[in-house]
């Protein structure tokens, strides 16, 4: 397994290279009629062929991140069979996960030293925030579609060429994996870096587990984790086996410095909620009540408390302050979009609150993208409140 410092040193010394990853999502997309990238990319025959090319192509400075031998052993065996197991490889998420902070530090150091830095990102990404954060100006910004970016943009972008020495950053899902291969094959004097979701907290106000310090206990994904990182205060022994809670300052994205862009209070909520889900001692009504009071704009603790205690007052508070956006993929979006309203559309009847029941039913009937049975229930129940 290769050390991440090889990539960092190439960046510091302006040695052209390409880094792409072929992880679980790419493996899924090799199968016909599949979908990956958190539902944003459906596969196609062309995509399957191109992804396979990215997996078999070899070049001295083309580094491929592969699925972890412990987390995805079967996928890894297939890759080693295709590429040969003597081929040097990196773990797919070597630049993010537990290395996110060091990668950000290296980028802070090197981005201003490149004359031309190009970014490829989805049309919704606020890339100017990356410019502000790193104190640079992109030479070019290439936009891709949010959904099914490969189908919309591959044909157009495939033939694009860049000057020697350009640093190209790609944050555009599976399309980016293929473009790294195509562009570097056409000009090995470029540097192409596939960065996945690294900048999402900046560009999309969205964070994943690794951004806020939840990392997998795995000897290959996070080899530096040892018992020495645990302290009593972290309750390491009460966590489930595969996630550990890492101190924010040492191994996560430096969120405190992102405060300008990102809601730090929400970050703290995510960390505490993660802890709740992994720590049996905390799973009490009292703890849920304290989280409900402490984070009035989050709905998860209150809704769980309501489900356990059937406390109508809690439900009423949740209903009156909806909606609130989510910040990561682990939150239950249905709580925000319909679960609270559905509960209110029923409970209000038993508490003599026709006004709330009618409001809840109306809200559901007017909502987009809710399940059919929820809409049907609201349409049926509203007659009791008129």
Question: Site residues (CB under 5 A) for Zn ion?
Answer: 68, 70-71, 218, 220-221
Taking each helix axis from N to C terminus, what angle separates 174-186 and 149-157, rounded to the nearest 10 degrees? 10
CB of 221 to Zn ion, least distance (A): 3
Q: Which is nearer to Zn ion, 213 or 357 (CB)?
A: 213
Q: Which is nearer to Zn ion, 1 or 376 (CB)?
A: 1
Q: Which is nearer to Zn ion, 131 or 220 (CB)?
A: 220
Q: Which is nearer to Zn ion, 89 or 138 (CB)?
A: 89
Q: Angle 47-51-53 (CA atoms, 0-180°, nearest 5)?
A: 120
CB of 92 to Zn ion, least distance (A): 9
Burial environment of residue 362 by CB neighbours within 10 A (0 to 12, 13 to 18, 19 or more): middle
Which contiguous run of DSSP H or E holds residue 39?
Answer: none
Q: Which is nearer to Zn ion, 88 or 333 (CB)?
A: 88
Among residues 40, 21, 44, 22, which one has the least CA distance to residue 31? 44
CB of 49 to Zn ion, least distance (A): 28
Q: Which is nearer to Zn ion, 196 or 357 (CB)?
A: 196
CB of 26 to Zn ion, least distance (A): 16
Q: Quick check: 62 and 181 in contact, CB under 8 A?
A: yes
Q: Quick check: 40 and 147 in contact, CB under 8 A?
A: yes
What tokens does 77 get? 């065996």
Instruction: Count Cα atoms within 13 angstroms, Cβ side, for 238.
Output: 15
CB of 68 to Zn ion, least distance (A): 3
DSSP state at residue 336: I
CA–CA gap between residue 248 and residue 207 (Å, rounded): 14
CB of 71 to Zn ion, least distance (A): 4
Q: Which is nearer to Zn ion, 220 or 263 (CB)?
A: 220
CA–CA gap between residue 20 and residue 26 (Å, rounded): 11
Q: Which is nearer to Zn ion, 211 or 339 (CB)?
A: 211
3-state SS of 42-56 is ECCHHHHHHHHHHHH
CB of 224 to Zn ion, least distance (A): 13
Categorise residue 166: left if φ over 0, alpha if ψ from -120 to 50, beta otherwise: beta
- SS3 state of residue 239: coil
282: which residues sit within 8 A by CB, 6+ positions away? 275, 276
Q: Which is nearer to Zn ion, 96 or 267 (CB)?
A: 96
CB of 193 to Zn ion, least distance (A): 21
The label of the residue with tokens 């998420």 reads 93
14: which residues sit within 8 A by CB, 6+ positions away? 113, 114, 165, 191
CB of 174 to Zn ion, least distance (A): 20
CB of 331 to Zn ion, least distance (A): 24
What is the CB neighbour count within 10 angstroms for residue 28? 16
Q: Quick check: 360 and 345 in contact, CB under 8 A?
A: yes
Which contiguous run of DSSP H or E holds residue 284?
Answer: none
Q: Which is nearer to Zn ion, 217 or 321 (CB)?
A: 217
């Amino acid at each position: 397994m290769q050390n991440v410092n090889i990539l960092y040193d190439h960046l510091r010394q302006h040695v052209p290279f390409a880094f792409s990853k072929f992880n679980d999502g790419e493996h899924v997309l090799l199968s016909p009629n599949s979908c990956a990238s958190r539902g944003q990319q459906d596969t196609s025959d062309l995509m399957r062929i191109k992804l396979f090319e990215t997996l078999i192509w070899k070049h001295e400075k083309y580094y491929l991140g592969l699925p972890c031998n412990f987390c995805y052993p079967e996928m890894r065996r297939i890759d080693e069979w295709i590429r040969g197991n003597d081929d040097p490889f990196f773990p797919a998420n070597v630049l993010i996960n537990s290395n996110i902070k060091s990668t950000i530090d290296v980028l802070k150091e090197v981005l201003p030293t490149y004359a031309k830095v190009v970014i490829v990102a989805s049309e919704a990404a606020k890339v100017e925030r990356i410019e502000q954060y790193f104190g640079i100006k992109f030479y070019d910004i290439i936009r891709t579609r949010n959904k099914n970016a490969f189908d919309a943009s591959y044909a157009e972008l495939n033939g694009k060429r860049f000057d020697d020495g350009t640093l190209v950053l790609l944050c555009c899902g599976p399309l980016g994996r293929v473009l790294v291969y195509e562009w570097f094959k056409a000009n090995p004097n470029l540097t192409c870096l596939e960065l996945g979701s690294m900048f999402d907290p900046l560009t999309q106000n969205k964070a994943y587990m690794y951004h806020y310090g939840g990392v997998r206990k795995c000897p290959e994904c996070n080899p530096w984790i040892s018992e020495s990182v645990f302290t009593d205060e972290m309750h390491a022994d009460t966590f489930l086996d595969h996630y550990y809670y890492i101190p924010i300052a040492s191994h996560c994205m430096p969120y405190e410095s992102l405060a300008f862009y990102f809601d730090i209070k929400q970050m703290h909520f995510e960390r505490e909620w993660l802890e709740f889900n992994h720590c049996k001692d905390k799973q009490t009504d009292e703890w849920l009540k304290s989280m409900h009071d402490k984070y009035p704009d989050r709905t998860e603790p209150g809704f769980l408390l309501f489900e356990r205690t059937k406390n109508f007052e809690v439900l009423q508070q949740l209903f009156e302050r909806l909606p609130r956006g989510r910040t990561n993929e682990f939150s239950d979006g249905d709580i925000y979009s319909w679960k609270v309203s559905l509960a209110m559309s029923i409970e209000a009847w038993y508490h003599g609150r026709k006004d709330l029941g009618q409001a809840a039913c109306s809200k559901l009937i007017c909502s987009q993208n809710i399940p059919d049975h929820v809409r049907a229930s609201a349409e049926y129940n509203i007659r009791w409140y008129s």
